[in-house]
Structure 1
């Protein structure tokens, strides 16, 4: 990674194998100064198939798998998460998401927000973004 004059590192971007090609002008992962920034992950599988008609649970499992893939591609993992932001289209899904997330995260307890939103792209029900250490 290149460095600024003040020693800060320029961001390195990547799209780890196992994730669909980004659908816009962004990278799945940006790494700078020992931190991994993961762009919002939607329930889209590695082939690009959107899980629009899948249950909330299936969509939640897919975004968490995408998050794990993005972290691994950057040399990080769930135990190094610092912050997670979750967008859900119905606050009624909060309790079920919390159960799925707790099982996925195990002993890791990063800072987290669950934000209800009116809609997400493609009619999907959940999106997750995160920050982790390398």
Structure 2
């Protein structure tokens, strides 16, 4: 997979660990369903700690990525959903720790509710 980062000074800089746009040539695209902070062993939501819930969501996403015979470097687009956008910086911090540069493109959306009363959900598109 060949990933090309698209950047222009005519649009605002990214306000987190993501790129303005990503172009890629791929043999296969993989569309990951949203992942929330469910513990895969118990099926229960990590509760009481937003950061742990975000980390578990990313761990769940990474498990599906690995099952696709891919790595985080194959992620070209992500969608993040938060029930509280004041926690946006927490997600950016965690994402910058987890993802290799160059970062994928990304959208972040504030939502009223998520499944199982989760506070965070992540979905991704991979290019293999």
1:99 alignment partner, SS class: helix
Equivalent position SS for 1:63: helix
1:88–1:117 CA contact under 8 A, matched in 2:
yes
SS in 2 for 1:65: helix
The match for 2:28 among 12, 30, 34 is: 34
Contact 1:81 1:108 in 2 (8 A): no
User: In the TM superposition, what is the alpha-carbon distance from 1:102 to its structure 2 partner?
Assistant: 0.7
Which TM-score applies when normalising by structure 1? 0.72
SS where residue 119 of structure 1 aligns?
Answer: coil
**Alignment-derived partner of residue 45 in structure 2:** 50
How much has 1:106 moved relative to structure 2? 2.8
Match of 1:11 in 2: none
Q: Any conservation in 2 of the 1:87–1:115 contact (CA below 8 Å)? A: yes
The aligned residue for residue 132 of structure 1 is 126
1:50, distance to aligned residue in structure 2 (A): 1.5
Q: Does 1:103 align with 2:90?
A: no
TM-score normalised per structure 2 = 0.75
> Corresponding residue for 1:73?
67
Structure 2: runs of 5+ lacking an equivalent: 1-26
Aligned residue pairs, count: 101
How much is the aligned-residue C-alpha RMSD, in angstroms? 1.1
Q: CA deviation at 1:108?
A: 3.7
Q: 2:108 aligns with which of 114, 119, 131?
A: 114
**Cα separation, 2, equivalents of 1:93 and 1:62:** 16
The runs of 5 or more residues in structure 1 that have no matched partner are: 1-32
